[in-house]
Amino acid sequence: MLKKERAAYIDNRLQALYPNPPIPLDHSDSYSLLVAVLLSAQCTDARVNTVTPALFELAATPAAMAGVKVEDIKAIIRPCGLSPQKSKAISVLSKMLMDDYAGQVPDNFIDLEKLPGVGHKTASVVMSQAFGHPAFAVDTHIHRLAQRWGLTKGKNVQQTEADLKKLFAKDRWIDIHLQIIYYAREHCQARACYGLECEICRTCYPNRVNKKIVLKP
């Protein structure tokens, strides 16, 4: 298959498997989504979902969170890992939202990426899932599968994002981001398929015999 043919097949197959992909992080608004995505760095979504109820019971808005001690935030989010950095980021960004954005999560990349703990991937998730802006957030799952499926040769998530945006229609970016993540978790795990076993890998590369080892970006 040519790259465009692989992309078309993958697009159709993922749409058939996950026609209405839910957002895996529990949230109620743009602020709770922002905090949940921040917490998900180097942590599973499932673990984040067990932690955020207590966190948002303590403080569910930027105004409320800005008044919470960093140590109290840290105590709740500790199971998510990197709690010293994440608790400080949540505290400071909440204060910034109050001071600079009238308590609202900004709906543009420039302002989102000014917030502590918010990189391009986190901003992309918030822009797409909270505001419906076409964005293609690339995490390690998506980077891995894009490499295994021959959709990119990018050595970092920035190049992978650029390559995927060229291959898939803009109105598919939001859903296919989630669909690839679900497929990666269920069928093409980092230490299982290696580009040899799952349905999409075998269809795209029926003659592949050697493992496709993908380094973390």
pLDDT band at 214 (very low <50, low <70, confident <90, very high): confident
Q: DSSP letter at 23?
A: P
Q: Which residues lie closer than 8 Å to 84 by C-beta, 6 or more apart?
A: 74
Pick the CATH number of 3-21+136-204 from 1.10.3720.10, 1.10.1670.10, 3.40.630.30, 2.60.40.420: 1.10.1670.10
pLDDT given for residue 155 in this prediction: 84
Q: What percent of the chain has a predicted confidence (pLDDT) above 90?
A: 94
Q: DSSP letter at 170?
A: G
Q: Which residues lie closer than 8 Å to 182 by C-beta, 6 or more apart?
A: 17, 18, 21, 24
Summarize the confidence of residues 179-206 as an average pLDDT. 96
Identify the CA nearest to 67 among candidates 103, 107, 15.
103
Q: What is the pLDDT of residues 59-105, one digit of tens each?
A: 999 999 999 999 999 999 999 999 999 999 999 999 999 999 999 99
Residue 4 pLDDT exceeds 80: yes
Higher pLDDT, 2 or 217: 2
Task: Return phi, psi of residue 141, to 5°.
Answer: -60, -50
Cβ–Cβ < 8 Å for 59, 68: yes
Q: What is the pLDDT of residues 8-65, one digit of tens each?
A: 999 999 999 999 999 999 999 999 999 999 999 999 999 999 999 999 999 999 999 9
Looking up tokens 């400080």 gives 88
Q: Which positions are catalytic? A: 121, 139
Cβ–Cβ < 8 Å for 188, 198: yes
Q: DSSP letter at 133?
A: -
Query: How much is the pTM?
Result: 0.93
Q: Half-sphere exposure (CA, 13 Å, Cβ side) for 167? A: 25
Residue 217 pLDDT exceeds 70: no
CATH code, residues 30-129: 1.10.340.30
CA distance 60 to 67: 11
Q: Half-sphere exposure (CA, 13 Å, Cβ side) for 144? A: 23
pLDDT given for residue 200 in this prediction: 98
**Domain coordinates in residue numbering, the chain:** 3-21+136-204, 30-129
